[in-house]
Amino acid sequence: MDLPVQLLVINTILLLASSVTIELARRKIGQQMALAPMESIPGIAIGREKTNLWLVITAILGVAFIIGQWLAWGELKNRGFYVASNPSSSFVYLLTSAHAIHLTAGILTIGYAICASLLKKAIESRRIVIEIAAWYWHFMAALWIYVFALLAFVR
């Protein structure tokens, strides 16, 4: 199996970068939570906008990863590696598409966290959503490294 390794490496870098950005968002919401009691003091702002910025960047990187996966599937197809070619090709498409579907769920969760922040929901509920999304996203990044390594070593 001739994988488009260069494209998959770029996708991996995108996903790892998005893991960093969601971690920055997670830490920022933790700081905001700690400083929330101070927000009632006139002239004090806790900087909600930076959390949204990191979440938006994470979502953009996640979408870029999925587009990269789409391009990788196209490259596999150009190399004659189709879903129905043989069981191993079906497995590659199944594994990578399942990962892309789960990543899409993570992007939707990040979108929900952004909306919750824009609607000025309670900081406690925003923190819970961002914490869950961040841990899920980190898991998906680690899982992708495993999947990529599995595909690279099996070929």
CATH of the domain at 57: 1.20.120.80
* Domain around 15: 5-154
Q: What percent of the chain has pLDDT over 70?
A: 94
Total domains present in the chain: 1
> What gap in Å lies between CA 73 and CA 63, rounded to an integer?
15
Give the residue-averaged pLDDT of 93-107. Answer: 93
Contacts of 51 (CB under 8 A, 6+ apart): 25, 28, 29, 32, 117, 126, 130
pLDDT, tens digit, 9 for 90 and up, residues 130-149: 999 999 999 999 999 999 88
Contacts of 37 (CB under 8 A, 6+ apart): none
Contacts of 15 (CB under 8 A, 6+ apart): 61, 62, 65, 103, 140, 141, 144
**Total-model pTM:** 0.87
